[in-house]
Amino acid sequence: MSVALVTGGARGIGLAIVERLAEAGWQVVAAGRDSQALEAATEPLRSRGLDVDPLRVDVTDESSVAELFEGCAERYGCPDLLVNNAGIAGPTVSTVSLQRSDWESVLAVNLTGAMLCCRAVLPTMLERGAGHIINIGSITGKRPLMHRVAYASSKLGLIGLTRSLAEEVGPHGIRVNAISPGPVMGERIERVLEGQALAQGITVEEARAQFTSGTPLRRFVEPGEVADAVVALDALPGVTGIDLNVSAGLVMY
């Protein structure tokens, strides 16, 4: 059985990815900071007979990341697929008002955390000569969004990480790709919309209309659609170094 490890697996996109991979027959390790939330989120999947194992990790802590991959290896072996999904939205504020601590915390989770997980899994993947890493980015890394400089910088950094690492490890049979979702239905986008409304002096519904009117499909993306993209991308062995938009057409580059 193939093994997948998904960070940020307790809610939203991450939980949808965990579910889709498990339904496709993978042994899935769902990792996250909140052990209770992980247990509560994955219990319904386990009750359906899906192979999902919740393990705690703080992706900003090197020792915690090491313990996660050691625990996964002891139970199931090295992951065949690593999905770096853990991320935080950070503040919606002007750059002059952005606190350095907020900037650093966003980059620590969204970018450094992904790098630490890549660094932890790669030695075994390199030894085996196979493996796949998918980094979950955001179209905000490519399309400006008002007062979101920390988040945008972290997600654009993920694209750089993806492309550089794909070039580095491709000769060893390892693929590295990214998926950049657009606005995804859920609690996080609601908080972003509230922040955008406040920043622009408009209503939340007007902010929502700004997002949806810019998409050819005139809607937000569902978490399951991002999860479907993970499964589809993993099934394409000749694809590496790409950044796949799942944005209802909001970004096409």
How far apart CA 176 and CA 160 sit, in angstroms, is: 11
Per-residue pLDDT at 238 exceeds 90:
yes
Stated pTM of the model: 0.94
Task: Find the radius of gyration of the CA atoms of the chain.
Answer: 18
Per-residue pLDDT at 189 exceeds 90:
no
How far apart CA 251 and CA 253 sit, in angstroms, is: 6
Could you count the other beta carbons within 10 Å of the beta carbon of residue 95? Answer: 9
Residues 214-232: what's their mean pLDDT?
Answer: 95
Q: Exactly one of 76, 151, 211, 220 is catalytic; which is it? A: 151
Catalytic status, residue 151: yes
Residues 112-137: what's their mean pLDDT?
Answer: 98
Determine how β-strand 27-32 pairs with β-strand 52-56: parallel
The tens digit of pLDDT for each residue in 55-102 reads 999 999 999 999 999 999 999 999 999 999 999 999 999 999 999 999
Longest dimension (CA), the chain: 54
